[in-house]
Amino acid sequence: MIELSNYDAVIFDMDGVLVDSEPLWKIAMQDVFSSLGSNLEKTDFQKTVGLRIDEVIAYWKPIENWVPEIKEIETDIVTKMVDLIHHQSCPLPGVIETLDFLKLKTPIGLATSSPQKLIDAVLKTLDVKQYFDAIQSAETETQGKPHPAVFLSAAKKMNVRPEKCLVIEDSLNGIIAAKAARMAVVCIPEKTHIPNPKMNLADFQFENMTDFLNEIK
């Protein structure tokens, strides 16, 4: 059972937690990678879920022998993602209700592997920026998830000790990052992820955000 009083802040991941953007990432990556002559399928991208987009590209670039630089490919993917977010996204079920409830109880942070340009697009499209006391992109960190830096930076911005933070994540890399930051983790698996028993590393698991909200109420 989750006792919200045991925590001084709740930190949300973004992709797959606030918004169903994981399928959009796969569309954007497949579109851009195909333009480079790649035959990668959306199922291949399961290997890099939770990583920063530059790290995803760095993983595939030597395998696929792409000529353009990582930053050029990244820019094309993020541009495509911003367009997809603006036209094809809405908050996942239970998200707004959970943010409404938590805002009256505790500081709320956002810590994501996504670049700031995409964070801005999601927060504007979903109209949820006002809920967050701290927003941190792994784009500004030397390493992305599964390194804990992005979570530690978010906690620091809120002046909260890491061990007093509760993180909401959907990916294994995110769970590993939060645990490495000495934070408690709620796992709400993104539905397109291949079931992974390693997700049991999380302290709590729920099918969806509504179930999580009912628990903390």
Show which residues are catalytic. Answer: 13, 15
Residues with Cβ within 8 Å of residue 11, at least 6 apart in sequence: 108, 109, 110, 111, 151, 154, 155, 165, 166, 167, 168, 178, 183
Task: Tell me the β-bridge partners of 167.
Answer: 11, 185
